[in-house]
A and B are shown apart, each in its own frame.
Chain A
């Protein structure tokens, strides 16, 4: 499912860009900083996204998936705890 960005659907594909919310820009910056500092890399980001339960993955927006992954990878590394 993750390698096609979700399940097949008859719904039309949204082709317009949308304005990014502040938190989405921040999410991008946080991951950029973690990468630049060598804390986590993009392949770990992708693995974290793939570990989402399918129904949560479907429900989540693009940067919500990043947030889920960054939280779980940083928890795995002992940087964050819940």
Chain B
């Protein structure tokens, strides 16, 4: 699955015991894809001495919110789900 700019997504709320780059404070939140940064090696395996392949798409996601401040976070594709 890949995502397009403007698409609504939900960041997975699953727990993950090992190293990963999805901050706890964005898990389970919804937002909008801003852009794709392209493919990057997977830090979840690379953190344990592996090559991080296959590469995963990394997206810039703007979290939904009604305040004047907005949280932007980079999230790997396998942490994203389509949202309504």
Chains A and B bind each other: yes
Residues of A within 8 A of B (CB): 3-4, 41, 43-44, 46-47, 50, 77
Residues of B within 8 A of A (CB): 18-19, 23-25, 43, 46-49, 52
Contacts of B25 in A (CB 8 A): 3-4
Task: State which of B24, B46, B48 has its C-beta within 8 Å of the C-beta of A3.
Answer: B24
- Please tell me if the beta carbons of B19 and A41 are within 8 angstroms of each other in the complex: no
Q: What separation, in Å, do the CA atoms of A41 and B43 have in the docked complex? A: 10
- Please tell me if the beta carbons of A44 and B24 are within 8 angstroms of each other in the complex: no
Which 4 residue pairs of A and B lie closest in terms of their CB atoms, listed nearest first?
A43-B47, A3-B23, A47-B19, A47-B47
A29 to chain B, nearest CB (A): 22
